[in-house]
Amino acid sequence: MKAENPNSLPIGQSREPIPATPEGLLAAVLASNQHTTDPRLKQILESLLRHLHAFADEVQLSYGELEQGIDFLVQVGKATGPEKHEGILLADILGIATLVGLIDAKKALAAGGTEPALIGPFWRAHQPLRPNGSLIASPKTPGDKLLVNGRVLSLDGAPIANARVETWQASPGGLYENQDPSQEDMNLRARFQTDEDGYFSFRSVRPSGYAVPVDGPCGKLLALQKRDIMRPAHLHFIVLAEGYKTLATQIFDADDPNAYRDVVFGAVGSLLRSFEAQEDGTYVLDLELRLEPGTMRMPLCPLP
């Protein structure tokens, strides 16, 4: 006769001990999830529990190693604050943020939509709204001049007017302004609105690549893995428009020496572009961002 699973019974009615085997334990743990009312949460937890148990069993995890893992997560939490979001950095260096973006964009990509890229830990809320054509670099920002001519379109090529376009980038010194006391507040950050034909534009400086922050537990993990810590030069974008799924992406400088070894795996597909040099020394980036019809969602902003 099949033994009754104690955790499938209402609390207090169990008459069986939990079996002292990995399989019996997993059955009890899964049964404990059976009364989760949110069906999506129930599905996610069930799969997570199965994979967690299978992972621990596969590597024959020791209790000391479990303690190290728990401490690592505690350190990630402690390293997260108004200046830096270590939790997002962790999702990024594990490739999970890129994977989730690709899953979410599967339909759009099949129909010619723009590839997504992770938001990362440096987007700030309340970036200043600026008129199209504005210079977003403060006068003392060094670097080559950059002109970005962008257009927001639907998958069928129709222009999307009044879309909100958020952009942010590192300085040629490889730091975002919130990491760098020498830069002005909100330097190299802005919000634009597309015109009636879907166009937006701004002037800036050509970005440079940078090392991800390595002063926290993610840095220790990268060192243990002997991994590169560089990101290729890029511009971040988030595009929000009523009736369309929100697009978070990045455009990468294909000429950057790290273009093909992004530490956070964000430089996918056609997101690598050449910034075209003009005779006057200005680099130009012409850009189309194609959005999938759907529900607009405001992403979680990592920084105030």
Place of tokens 């002063």: 215
Compute the least distance from the CB of residue 218 to Fe ion, in Å. Answer: 15
> Per-residue string for binding with Fe ion, 71-110, x by CB under 5 A?
----------------------------------------
Nearest to 94 by CA among 212, 250, 255, 208: 212
**Which window, 19-27, 82-90, 112-120, 157-165, contacts Fe ion (CB under 5 A)?**
112-120
Buried b (16+ CB within 10 A) or exposed e, 253-274: beebebbeebbbbbbbeebbbe
**Which window, 44-52, 115-123, 185-193, 211-219, contacts Fe ion (CB under 5 A)?**
115-123
Compute the least distance from the CB of residue 271 to Fe ion, in Å. Answer: 12
Closest CB to Fe ion among 120 and 172? Answer: 120
- DSSP symbol at 270: G
Compute the least distance from the CB of residue 234 to Fe ion, in Å. Answer: 6
Closest CB to Fe ion among 256 and 292? Answer: 256
- Residue 252 C-alpha from the chain's centroid: 15
Give the nearest residue (CB) to Fe ion: 120
Closest CB to Fe ion among 154 and 187? Answer: 187
Closest CB to Fe ion among 113 and 120? Answer: 120
Residue 20 DSSP SS3: coil
Tokens for 190?
Answer: 């802005």
Closest CB to Fe ion among 154 and 178? Answer: 178
Beta strands 230-231 and 247-253: pairing type?
A: unpaired
Nearest to 283 by CA among 219, 208, 232, 220: 208
Q: How far apart are the first and last CA of the chain?
A: 59
**Which window, 104-112, 118-126, 195-203, 222-230, contacts Fe ion (CB under 5 A)?**
118-126
Instruction: Give the span between the Cα atoms of 103 and 116, in whole angstroms.
Output: 10
Q: What angle do CA 90, 94, 100 make, to 5 degrees?
A: 100
**Which window, 69-77, 84-92, 105-113, 119-127, contacts Fe ion (CB under 5 A)?**
119-127
Closest CB to Fe ion among 28 and 263? Answer: 263
- Site residues, Fe ion (CB under 5 A): 120
